[in-house]
Structure 1
Amino acid sequence: MPVPRSAKYIGRDVIKERRERLLSQAQTLWNRDGLTAVGVLVGERLDMGVLENILDGFDSAPPRRRIAKSNGRPTRLDEQGADDEDIALAALKDLSLVFKGLYTALRTGKLQKLKLTMDRCIGVVHERWGGITQWLIYCARNVVPGDTGYNWDRVIDSCTWILEPILFYADDDPVTHDLVARPPTIDLVFCLLRITDPGTERPATHKSYPNSLCSIAKVFAMSVMSTTGHYIQSHLNEKSPHTRRDVVRSIVRRIQDVSATPRHTPDDMSRVSCDLLNLIPGACIILTRRGPGEAYGVSDVLFEGARALSCAMEDVSFKNSALPDYLTLDAGINQLVSLATWPRTPPRAMERLFEAGIIPCIIRSLPHTNRSDPRHRGIEEPAYHLLPFLTDSRIFSAVKTGGADLEPLMKELERYPKSKVAVVEPIYNAYSLALRCCKSAFQDRKSPIEMCYNLNHEVPREGSRDCTTLKTCSVCRVVFYCSEVCQREDWAAFHSEECTRGAERWRPRLTVAGVTERLERDRLMILEALANRFLPPPTEIVRRGSGGIQNASEDSSVRIHTFDLAGGLYQSIATGEASPPKRFVEYESMTLPSYFQKYEDVLGDRTRARLSRCAEDIKHKHESTLLVAGTFTAHKVCICICAKMVYNPDSEVGERYRVVWHACSILCLPLWLFGI
């Protein structure tokens, strides 16, 4: 005679039967009609008792597995641990099917009343989320294919299917928002991001997902780029340095893995584009939110991200491959440029971006921008935003590595309609001019440039000095001289009055801003190259009445020829509104007092005093000497360099103007320019 059971157990059996019947029907519908039909079925027939019964499978604590020394994989469990694992895997399978079905039906616009069912499900899950995430992390890390009959790939699928709707609705629902903000959720995202396929050791992927190689990348992007993204970053910052590096390393490995994926068909390119869209912007956002002084992984993300986009665009040009998604190009390029120009990004990381071929990638991408789509930020702005950084010799060297020959690119674009090419031409012309000027300054020079702050420095002799052996003031470390003679002369005539103030004010600012002798020399070389390219002989300037001496009795008669290569950055500081540059260089000729007034924030007393004294000398040498100034930008500073240049008509073309004296001022850029 059977033992009578309590009503509690009878009720459980009834609920279990309803669960098995519902999930069996859902599985049949999935195989026959797809996930949308599953969502409709679940919305009509699921009650919270069945959902609670599913969640009961996560009640026990996950067992501990030991790692085998022979192959590094988890060992088999004892009988009790195996039973708990089987129960949890069954619960994982059922819960993921419920969530994925409802989410798919809602996303396809079917029966919006299903949203009420989804909200109720998330509310029930919210109460038991801690135990659920423990099992999700355990299963993703430890389930060995063949151990339980539950395929490891399906475990990864199930984890992402549960996370996707929670992340998607986090911005609209306070309960879901709280779920995403919890550390267990964030730990689960990091776990999936870092996990590798036990069979191939490659980053784990979602093999059955129709539009992507890796829905883990999608989950990562959704978590980082939602309104709850700051919780992700805060929790990551609390982790150990090793864990933080491991997360970044995992992102880089995933980008590399996507880049290595074959792209033979439009479907291949679609899947690659989807993953790049999820990985690159999310990685850039994580890295820009990190604390100061922590730059690990920035160079790798910039290089691999730019290389992936560049290779994809090369396929479009040379292999007639399918075009990456517009949004992928737009978001990827914008986020890479934002990360590269971030004030906390190391200079070497910027070089890596150019080495990976970001310029050819931008040129090839411009005809494909979709300005009518409101989701697009546009590629023109980041393209112009990179221009001011080309005035660095190391950046120019990196550009040559990544592809500096732009003429073949324009020939490639001739197959596009004229309206498409018209978008490219202004940016192409700006980059062509910038690269020609950089080539003249850094590659074609036959003699080193003179760097000397001595106001009495004479016309340089051809190839007379080695610019790498400069003398620097040992007190302030701000001024440079070509020789000890010039250093003694300037000390007696000028520098002794300014040195103490320079040591107190300028040395800390230069150190913080990273302004070095090389950086100053590079900008001075560019300034000399611009003068040789654009300025006529001083006698011609006088004859035109646009420069030189108009009235020797007035100091205002001395004009200064200014080249703004900071992309309007200084004007942005003055107006309080950031505006992107529209060309490589802006030229203007003005009187010295007007120049002082316009650039009063960046010109210190030291530079103004030197310029005023230099102007007195130029009044008497106006037929062979000019004052030339340039405004540049580096990562954290606006740099203003003023130079006295002499003209020698007997020198070779391109070297007739030569610097004989210069002074440099800097302005540390306000953080609001970078959105900080």
Structure 2
Amino acid sequence: MSSPSEALGPRHLPLQNYLIQEGDLSSLKAVLAHLNPDMIPRTGSEFFSREPLKALGDLVAIMSSLRLVNGSEQQPYLQAQSFSIIAERWSGIMEWLVFLVMHGQNTLHIDRVPAFAALFLQQAFQDPIPCRDELMHHPASAQFLLVLLLRLDPRTGGYVYASEGGSPCIIIRLLGSFLESDDALDVLLSHIKARSPKFQRRLISAIVARPRDIASKARIDRMDLIISSATSLRTLCLFGSKVMRDPTLSRRFLHRNLFGELGMALFTLADMVDRSATPGRMKCWEIFTNCISAITDPVHKFVHSESKSFSPAGTTNLPLILSAFLEHGIISRAMHALKYIKMNEWEFGGSDVDRLLEHILRDITPHMSVSRIARGATANLYPSLEDDVQNYDGWSMVVTSLPDAVSAAQLVFEERGGIHVDICNNLKHSIRYESSHSEYSARKCSSCECVAYCSRECQKADWDEGHKHECGLLRLGEGYKLISSILYEIRRDQLTFIEHLANERLSLIFAPDQSSASGKARTPDGVSLPESKPEAIIALLDATAPGCIRSNLHHPISTHADTIWRQINGVWDGRVQRLVKRAAERPERTVLVEAVFEHNHPAATYVLVEMRFDPEASRLTKLKVVNSVFRVGTISLIRQLKLKEDSVGSDVGDHSANFDIGSDSE
């Protein structure tokens, strides 16, 4: 038997005709009699006939016929009764399928049993049939899917890739069936978590290995194989995005670099499409766009209403995902895809795939404050791509905002590559803020995983200072865990970005000032400050918009507390209050900065930073980060302040710019 279709026994037409035309369920029961679990051999070496396999083939044909029946009034009743019987026997059917997959290849010498088994479940899970949800949510169904995902191909030594005639992998398609509803996915994830740690490691390894295997099946001269592989990758991208909802499994998949493997495989296919002259590229670019969309989910972002209640626990760790997913160069291929789509829109027949890709690139742009993402999107994204497309709607956004953001990020990370930025939540860390890089030993609280320290001494000091009281409360907040699970690399990138912007802008505030004739101190750009007891201020930097950084460098803390901190601080209130108090005690040496970075719409990362001014330091280090608090909140909070807009390029790259210290928003 060389193909799953040959598994359909020669009796299946008479059986299904008898069942449908006569309404006699005895034929169905006769088929199911061959699938009695008591007849399963106790060992794989025992001889058994092909009757169970033929019965499964008959059952596939019967289910297909029942799904399509119509006409007489008794047909719905017959359909419901038939599937009710199948549901009652489902556990036994699944036991036979597991046995055949594990031993059928050796005993029956049939090399396509896994493919047939996956097709069988595909038939059972298709709409419209009664009991569909019952069959899909059955524990045996999830168990069997895991068996298929773990199955090795004895011919290649790799995991089974069941595909025929350029179609997507049947096993991956079956996995996609469980992603169509949250209930089915929850059943699958709960089943995975209930298994032993050893089994979970094997399964995660099998899934992480799939993208590279799938990409290896494609050929540059076979567009059908590229489309098939890309379709399978889209399912895995969707699975990766959805599994991030589970804190335990998400960390394990992130640790095994699932998104890095997906990004590498997708880049491999996109590179084939870009270099190929074979017809069908438009379909490939459409699937390519959908793959990235499964990760960034731009459609959801635009339909989401921020007026609804917001829970940090509902966000995913997009910066960490993108840093691995984009590392291999997907953005450059996305730019080529967008140009091809824009110049060949007639091939899409009114499809909005170009708009979808524009939204994807717009969503990626604010994440350039992460060094790995910026490295993955090189400064020269698209040599000569702007030719002939300047007048296409939407292209101007891509041709300006994204390259500017990438160039600015590269300038920051290249220029400050040798400048150490501490990540330490110990409020007394500022006393020893001159610590060298060699002394730095990143660590986090193992209980709440929400605070980080530069040394064991700082960790102990902060515990005694008050972390022992907040630790338990932080541990209960899954939203805070999502923020804390961002790698130290990403936290440090964000602090590096803040430190660079602060030295470009805020050092002007601390410059020696001359008193005016009116008796008021004046800043270099002519903004007057009260001479005695000025209201405490905070500098705001909003990096959540593509192509620009909004700012207000003299924002009153009282206004900021009412607008922002009351909404997001929660258990962090104690830390925030201590930072504000310390800044008020040393206004000539200390400044507070609140920077906001894109996390995953509608969530944003709010980073409150205490910075120390050193007039003797170099231009790039006059202001140093000495403490920071990372929280999560909605983007709408900072957007409602309507801060000033400046282009990213001028914010970061022009050292001679005389930035406005005031704001036109107050």
Could you state the TM-score of these two structures normalised by the residue count of structure 1? Answer: 0.67
1:630 pairs with one of 573, 588, 595: 595
Distance 1:58 1:222 in 2: 24
Structure 1 counterpart of 2:90: 129
Aligned 1:211-222 pairs, distance under 5 A: 212-222=167-177
1:336 pairs with one of 278, 284, 295: 295
Distance 1:406 1:525 in 2: 19
In structure 2, do the counterparts of structure 1 residues 118 and 526 end up closer, same or farther at CA, with 3 Å as the change threshold?
same
Aligned 1:58-457 pairs, distance under 5 A: 58-59=35-36, 61-64=38-41, 66=43, 75=45, 77=46, 81-82=47-48, 85-100=49-64, 121-144=82-105, 148=108, 151-153=110-112, 155-169=113-127, 175-208=131-164, 210=165, 212-226=167-181, 227-263=183-219, 264-286=221-243, 288-289=245-246, 291=248, 295-296=252-253, 299-320=256-277, 322-323=281-282, 325=284, 328-337=287-296, 351-364=323-336, 366=338, 368=341, 378-379=356-357, 383=361, 385=363, 390-391=368-369, 395-397=370-372, 399-400=374-375, 403-409=376-382, 411-412=384-385, 414=387, 418-419=392-393, 421-422=395-396, 424-425=398-399, 427-429=401-403, 431-443=405-417, 448=420
Residue 562 of structure 1 contacts residue 588 of structure 1 at CA under 8 Å; is this kept in 2? yes
Structure 1 counterpart of 2:607: 639
Distance 2:592 2:395 in 1: 39
SS in 1 for 2:541: strand
Residue 478 of structure 1 contacts residue 506 of structure 1 at CA under 8 Å; is this kept in 2? no
SS in 2 for 1:259: helix
SS in 2 for 1:61: helix
SS in 2 for 1:641: strand
The amino acid that maps onto 1:329 is F
Report which stretch shifted further, 325-334 or 194-203.
325-334
Alignment of 1:555 with 2:526, yes or no, is no
1:628 Cα deviation from its structure 2 partner: 5.3
Distance 1:455 1:547 in 2: 35
SS in 1 for 2:630: strand
The amino acid that maps onto 1:630 is A
Distance 1:669 1:439 in 2: 26
1:100 Cα deviation from its structure 2 partner: 5.0
Alignment of 1:55 with 2:32, yes or no, is yes
1:534 Cα deviation from its structure 2 partner: 5.7
RMSD, aligned α-carbons: 5.3
Structure 2 counterpart of 1:667: 631
Could you state the TM-score of these two structures normalised by the residue count of structure 2? Answer: 0.68
Residue 205 of structure 1 contacts residue 213 of structure 1 at CA under 8 Å; is this kept in 2? no
Structure 2 counterpart of 1:570: none
1:624-654 per-position Cα deviation (integer Å, ceiling 9, x unaligned):
x987553457799632114354678x96xxx
1:23 pairs with one of 12, 26, 29: 12
Distance 2:546 2:512 in 1: 29
2:436 pairs with one of 448, 466, 469: 466
Structure 1: gaps spanning 5 or more residues: 1-18, 27-38, 67-73, 488-495, 568-580, 619-624
1:238-261 per-position Cα deviation (integer Å, ceiling 9, x unaligned):
222222222222222322211111
In structure 2, do the counterparts of structure 1 residues 253 and 600 end up closer, same or farther at CA, with 3 Å as the change threshold?
closer
Report which stretch shifted further, 449-458 or 257-266.
449-458
1:512-546 per-position Cα deviation (integer Å, ceiling 9, x unaligned):
63699877754443223224556795579997886
Residue 118 of structure 2 contacts residue 170 of structure 2 at CA under 8 Å; is this kept in 1? yes
In structure 2, do the counterparts of structure 1 residues 481 and 376 end up closer, same or farther at CA, with 3 Å as the change threshold?
closer
In structure 2, do the counterparts of structure 1 residues 110 and 378 end up closer, same or farther at CA, with 3 Å as the change threshold?
farther
Distance 1:335 1:598 in 2: 33
Distance 1:24 1:173 in 2: 20
In structure 2, do the counterparts of structure 1 residues 546 and 241 end up closer, same or farther at CA, with 3 Å as the change threshold?
same
Residue 594 of structure 2 contacts residue 608 of structure 2 at CA under 8 Å; is this kept in 1? yes
SS in 2 for 1:407: coil
SS in 1 for 2:551: strand
1:308 Cα deviation from its structure 2 partner: 1.6
- Bigger relative contact order, structure 1 or 2 (CA pairs below 8 A, ≥6 apart): 2
1:592 Cα deviation from its structure 2 partner: 3.4
1:383 Cα deviation from its structure 2 partner: 4.6
Distance 1:112 1:284 in 2: 44
Residue 442 of structure 1 contacts residue 525 of structure 1 at CA under 8 Å; is this kept in 2? yes
Distance 2:554 2:430 in 1: 24
In structure 2, do the counterparts of structure 1 residues 657 and 87 end up closer, same or farther at CA, with 3 Å as the change threshold?
closer
Structure 1 counterpart of 2:499: 528
Residue 608 of structure 2 contacts residue 628 of structure 2 at CA under 8 Å; is this kept in 1? yes
In structure 2, do the counterparts of structure 1 residues 378 and 117 end up closer, same or farther at CA, with 3 Å as the change threshold?
farther
In structure 2, do the counterparts of structure 1 residues 102 and 524 end up closer, same or farther at CA, with 3 Å as the change threshold?
same
Tell me which structure has the larger Cα radius of gyration: 1
SS in 2 for 1:630: strand
Structure 1 counterpart of 2:583: 611
2:565 pairs with one of 591, 594, 600: 600
Distance 1:225 1:354 in 2: 26
1:381-427 per-position Cα deviation (integer Å, ceiling 9, x unaligned):
55555556544xxx515753xx3324243534646572363452355
SS in 2 for 1:212: coil
In structure 2, do the counterparts of structure 1 residues 189 and 517 end up closer, same or farther at CA, with 3 Å as the change threshold?
closer
1:660 Cα deviation from its structure 2 partner: 5.2
In structure 2, do the counterparts of structure 1 residues 284 and 58 end up closer, same or farther at CA, with 3 Å as the change threshold?
same
The amino acid that maps onto 1:562 is L
Structure 2: gaps spanning 5 or more residues: 1-7, 299-312, 343-347, 514-520, 638-666
Distance 2:429 2:52 in 1: 81
1:606 Cα deviation from its structure 2 partner: 0.9
Distance 1:243 1:626 in 2: 51
In structure 2, do the counterparts of structure 1 residues 551 and 383 end up closer, same or farther at CA, with 3 Å as the change threshold?
same
1:311-336 per-position Cα deviation (integer Å, ceiling 9, x unaligned):
22222323346355566435432443
